[in-house]
Structure 1
Amino acid sequence: MDWILFLIFLATCLAAGSTGALFQPGDWYRSLEKPRWTPPDWVFPVAWFTLYLCIAGAAARAAPVEGSAYAMATFALQIALNTLWTPVFFGLRKMGGGMLVIVALWISVAVTMALFFQLDTLAGLLFVPYLGWVSIAAALNYAVWRRNDPAPVASSG
């Protein structure tokens, strides 16, 4: 693995994660009704730092492989959406908007993971925990939105 590429991708991930410092959950989020399976606050920075190491490692393995253009394009999309979710959900306090972003994020992570698997098995495997965590985050976003949005989600019945 090219360690310079790894450090560049890690810096990219940490820059995306810096929105968590800029748009902290604060009292607004603490006041929301959340499901009992919500992870404790300390889990989030630990999980994200670990995931960012995996994401950077995956990108550093995939980027130099011939034919990686589409994989790296979807990597760029997923990191942009990763960066966007926090300001939408915590900054603007738009739970529905956050849901739209996280669904797009989930799709882009899944596509990136599939493309990484085609280039390098380990790169694909390093994205599996990320997709799992985004799945949990999406479920949590939805549950919080359903419990707290003054305009309930329309049901189909």
Structure 2
Amino acid sequence: MDWVIFAILLAACFGAGSTGGLFPPGPWYRTLNKPVWTPPDWLFPVAWTTLYICMAAAGALVAGQPGADVALALWGLQIALNGLWTPVFFGLRRIRLGMGVLAALWLAVAATLVALWQLDWRAGALFVPYLAWVSVAGALNLSVWRLNPDEAANPPEMAR
């Protein structure tokens, strides 16, 4: 594994993850109805830190290999969508649009996993927990949408 590539990809991951600090859940999210199985708040930074390390390692394992272009392009797509969800859901407070971003993210993560696996099974395996977590996030987003139909249909105006 190329450690310089790993560091660059990890920086990209934490760049995407920084949107959580820019658009924190806040009081709006706390007032929404959520399913009883919603993960505790402390789990999110732990899970994302672990996933970002795995994602960067997966990309670094295949970087420089012949035929890695598509896998790395998909890696770039998934990290862009990863960084988009938080501003859409928490920043714009668009629950339905957030679900759309999550659906696209799930597809991009699944495609990246397959493309990585074809190059190096270890890289693909490092994306399995990420796909599982995005699946949980999608189920949570969908549940919040269903439990808050008025909020989803009429997003509140942002405080200025």
Q: TM class by shorter-chain length?
A: over 0.9
Give the secondary-structure state (helix, strand or coil) at the position aligned to 2:136: helix
Runs of at least 4 residues off by over 2 Å: none
Aligned-residue offset at 1:151: 7.1
Match of 1:59 in 2: 59
Report how many residues are paired.
153
Q: Does 1:122 align with 2:137?
A: no
Separation in 1, partners of 2:110, 2:62: 15
Match of 2:80 in 1: 80
Q: Which amino acid aligns with 1:99?
A: M
Q: Does 1:46 align with 2:46?
A: yes
CA contact (8 A) 2:95 2:152 kept: no
User: Deviations for 1:123-150, whole angstroms, at most 9, x for unmatched residues?
Assistant: 0000000000000000000000111121
Point out where structure 2 has 5 or more consecutive residues left out of the alignment.
Answer: 154-160
Q: Does 1:32 align with 2:32?
A: yes
Give the secondary-structure state (helix, strand or coil) at the position aligned to 1:150: helix
* Alignment TM-score, normalising by the size of structure 1: 0.95
Q: Which amino acid aligns with 2:102?
A: I
Give the secondary-structure state (helix, strand or coil) at the position aligned to 2:105: helix
Separation in 2, partners of 1:38, 1:152: 18
Alignment of 1:1-157 (within 5 A): 1-150=1-150
Aligned-residue offset at 1:152: 7.2
CA RMSD of aligned residues (A): 1.1
CA contact (8 A) 1:95 1:149 kept: no
User: Deviations for 1:11-69, whole angstroms, at most 9, x for unmatched residues?
Assistant: 00000000000000000001100000000000000000000000000000112111011
Q: Equivalent pairs: percent with the same residue?
A: 60
Q: Which amino acid aligns with 2:14?
A: L
Give the secondary-structure state (helix, strand or coil) at the position aligned to 2:76: helix
